[in-house]
Amino acid sequence: MEKMHQLLESIFTSGALEKIVFSKSAIKEIKRAHGRIILIKGLRVLQIETLFTDGKARHHNVPEEQALRHVLEMTDNYKQINIYTTAGECEIKKNNGGSVHVINRIKGALVASDPANNDHQKKYLIDATDAAPFLSKLGVCDENGNVFDKKRSKFRQINRFVELLDDVYGKLPAEGELCVCDLCCGKSYLTFAVYYYLTALKGRQVKMYGMDLKSDVIAFCKQTAKDLQFEGMEFVCGDIHEFEPEKAPDLVISLHACDIATDMVLYNAVRLKAKVILSTPCCHHEMMNQLCCPPLSFVSKHSILKQKLCDSLTDALRCLRLEAEGYKVSAIELIDPEETPKNVMIRAIFADTPPQKRAKAYEEYKQTVEFLGVSPYYEQIVRKREGLK
Ligand X SMILES: C[S@@+](CC[C@H](N)C(=O)[O-])C[C@H]1O[C@@H](n2cnc3c(N)ncnc32)[C@H](O)[C@@H]1O
Q: Which helix (H) or strand (E) holds 175?
A: none
**How many other CB atoms are there within 10 angstroms of residue 316's CB atom?**
16
Residue 344 near ligand X by CB under 6 A = no
Q: Which of 165, 159, 200 is nearest to 56 (CA)?
A: 200
Q: Which of 105, 148, 104, 107 is nearest to 128 (CA)?
A: 148
Assess contact for 214 and 240: CB atoms under 8 A: no
How big is the site for ligand X, counted in residues (CB under 6 A)? 19
Residue 282 near ligand X by CB under 6 A = yes
Minimum distance of ligand X from residue 156's CB (angstroms): 13
Kindly tell me which residue out of 112, 248, 258, 359 binds ligand X, with binding defined by CB under 6 A. 258
Q: Which of 160, 161, 157, 153 is nearest to 180 (CA)?
A: 161
Residue 239 near ligand X by CB under 6 A = yes
Q: What mask, x for binding ligand X by CB under 6 A, covers residues 143 to 182?
A: ----------------------------------------
**How many other CB atoms are there within 10 angstroms of residue 312's CB atom?**
14
Question: Residue 113 or 262: which CB sits closer to ligand X?
Answer: 262
Minimum distance of ligand X from residue 242's CB (angstroms): 8
Kindly tell me which residue out of 162, 251, 252, 255 binds ligand X, with binding defined by CB under 6 A. 255
SS3 332: strand
Helix, strand counts (H, E) of the chain: 11, 14
Residue 214 near ligand X by CB under 6 A = yes
The residue with its CB nearest to ligand X is: 186
Minimum distance of ligand X from residue 240's CB (angstroms): 4
Minimum distance of ligand X from residue 191's CB (angstroms): 8
Provide the CA 85 distance to its chain's centre, in angstroms: 28
Residue 279 to residues 228, 339, 346: CA-CA distances in angstroms?
26, 18, 5
Per CB under 6 A, the segment of 1-9, 32-40, 186-194, 222-230 that binds ligand X is 186-194
Residue 138 near ligand X by CB under 6 A = no
Kindly tell me which residue out of 31, 256, 271, 275 binds ligand X, with binding defined by CB under 6 A. 256
Per CB under 6 A, the segment of 144-152, 207-215, 316-324, 332-340 that binds ligand X is 207-215
Residue 185 near ligand X by CB under 6 A = yes
Residue 213 near ligand X by CB under 6 A = yes
Residue 107 to residues 23, 50, 166: CA-CA distances in angstroms?
24, 29, 42
Residue 211 near ligand X by CB under 6 A = yes
Residue 212 near ligand X by CB under 6 A = yes
- Report the relative pairing of strands 276-281 and 251-257 from DSSP bridges: parallel
> 229 CB contacts (<8 Å, ≥6 apart)?
none
Kindly tell me which residue out of 138, 206, 264, 335 binds ligand X, with binding defined by CB under 6 A. 264
Binding site for ligand X (CB under 6 A): 184-187, 189-190, 211-214, 239-240, 255-258, 261, 264, 282
